Structure 1
């Protein structure tokens, strides 16, 4: 169930229509840094908006192993996350969520798709995350997060997200099976570049949006991430994306893959600049 952090006072709720949740458990991790990173992101959001944070899962040592073992270990917390989303969306609340890893979307997106089948999932990530157990070359659970939510394989957490309701943004490390889906027009992809904002607006086409951010969509070195894919977005690019998303209805927002420190130095990092770049989306979410 959702729990509050007993060591941190609960702030006064600033918007009763938005639910701030942090997933801080194990979910296919290569290391332990994103479990602490999600807490840092949630703390920053809580302080900005006066929202109490509901916690799902507890940090555990990363397993760094095959997808099946990772999923089995993560399923109790992921099912808890799915239940939390079901309750808040049934209650008419908008999710504002700090994830550890993208694989937590296996739990969130099927619930979003069930409650808001009219919404498109705008997935900003350096990767497409559309591999399946049958075609993955790495066995990494996070690389199958979006495909599981779309029902291309059975995660045990449901599917239901239509492929034509997916808009990839900023993906540049794309595997051949994922590229085939894009080239066939099953999934819309908006690459990085000077026309990113305009192309994203066209891809959304006036639909409500549920927005997912994997921090590795950014140029490496801006924030700590597990994967580093050159050719990514700047914070100014992310702000422009936020402006486009904020033009319409924002159903919910999740932020994942922010690591709490640089692995080379273990120097802690705060997510303030990242959160600043997404300010238009917060305004849209709290105004719904």
Structure 2
């Protein structure tokens, strides 16, 4: 397979600049691990946060560029490995995955479900709408097409009422944090091709720098066990989001190496 490494450098609903500072470090670590150069999409921005709809409007040109880039990669049979700034970039990537690989399951590692809509969001944060858009629960302007049967939440533990209802009704499958989660994940994936999204806040707070700190998260060992299971499937692609720099050492590559080491089974699956 041809691995295509992408670094999304732009601003998409950022609360702060720390993810935009960390993403190039993550991209550099992935370049070294994969021995490929990254294609950079977007440019770092510094505007103050605003409402979800205004954030989406401002980010739309770079998100459309990202969607076109993914469409080209997947149409050529390449395997995208992507360093994202924020989860909201999935509004652009996942509809293309659903179009080009409708057989693939999106495995969504995240402390949050990101299944709110403009009508249910309590925070107005664009990232909280990141998975619901591709699922067609609202119109982002970037497409949809992802079936609920092809979406699996992993490690999610901070759900708003409307999101919890989707899980409780069985509309969306959730593999919770636990000692048997790798085994449970293997069962629900059932050998299907996978596209893996990893929000770094799925990990226990303090493991790596992140914007949100939701207790009782995954360990790096658990993440590695889950990615080892997923590597037995066809890996359609991988995207890693929401890593931030540590203000005490904003140039350190150590957090990025922790994440890349934990997901290495997915990267080896490409080779």
Q: State how far apart, in whole Å, the 2-side matches of 1:66 and 1:218 are.
A: 27
Bigger drift between 126-135 and 38-47 goes to 38-47
Q: Deviations over 1:168-203 (max 9, x none)?
A: 000000111001111111110000010110111111
Question: Is the Cα contact below 8 Å between 2:10 and 2:20 reproduced in 1?
Answer: yes
Question: Is the Cα contact below 8 Å between 1:67 and 1:139 reproduced in 2?
Answer: yes
Question: Is the Cα contact below 8 Å between 2:108 and 2:196 reproduced in 1?
Answer: yes
Give the gaps of 5 or more residues in structure 1: 1-15
Question: Is the Cα contact below 8 Å between 1:29 and 1:62 reproduced in 2?
Answer: no
Q: State how far apart, in whole Å, the 2-side matches of 1:52 and 1:121 are.
A: 25
In structure 2, the residue matched to 1:73 is 58
Q: State how far apart, in whole Å, the 2-side matches of 1:88 and 1:200 are.
A: 27
Question: Is the Cα contact below 8 Å between 1:30 and 1:62 reproduced in 2?
Answer: no
Q: State how far apart, in whole Å, the 2-side matches of 1:269 and 1:171 are.
A: 28
Does residue 268 (structure 1) correspond to residue 251 (structure 2)? The answer is yes
The alignment's C-alpha RMSD in Å is: 1.0
Give the gaps of 5 or more residues in structure 2: none
- Once the two structures are TM-superposed, the CA of residue 267 in structure 1 deviates from its matched residue by 3.9
Does residue 32 (structure 1) correspond to residue 14 (structure 2)? The answer is no
In structure 2, the residue matched to 1:238 is 223
In structure 1, the residue matched to 2:243 is 258
Question: Is the Cα contact below 8 Å between 1:28 and 1:63 reproduced in 2?
Answer: no
In structure 2, the residue matched to 1:11 is none
Q: State how far apart, in whole Å, the 2-side matches of 1:226 and 1:65 are.
A: 17
Paired residues, number: 269
- Once the two structures are TM-superposed, the CA of residue 62 in structure 1 deviates from its matched residue by 4.3
- Once the two structures are TM-superposed, the CA of residue 218 in structure 1 deviates from its matched residue by 0.4
Q: State how far apart, in whole Å, the 1-side matches of 2:81 and 2:53 are.
A: 28
TM superposition score normalised by structure 2:
0.97
Q: State how far apart, in whole Å, the 2-side matches of 1:268 and 1:51 are.
A: 22
In structure 2, the residue matched to 1:152 is 137
Which structure 2 residues correspond to residues 129-278 of structure 1 after superposition, within 5 A?
129-259=114-244, 261-263=245-247, 265=248, 267-270=250-253, 271-278=256-263
Q: State how far apart, in whole Å, the 2-side matches of 1:28 and 1:45 are.
A: 24
**What SS does the aligned partner of 1:168 have?**
strand
**What SS does the aligned partner of 2:74 have?**
helix
TM superposition score normalised by structure 1:
0.91
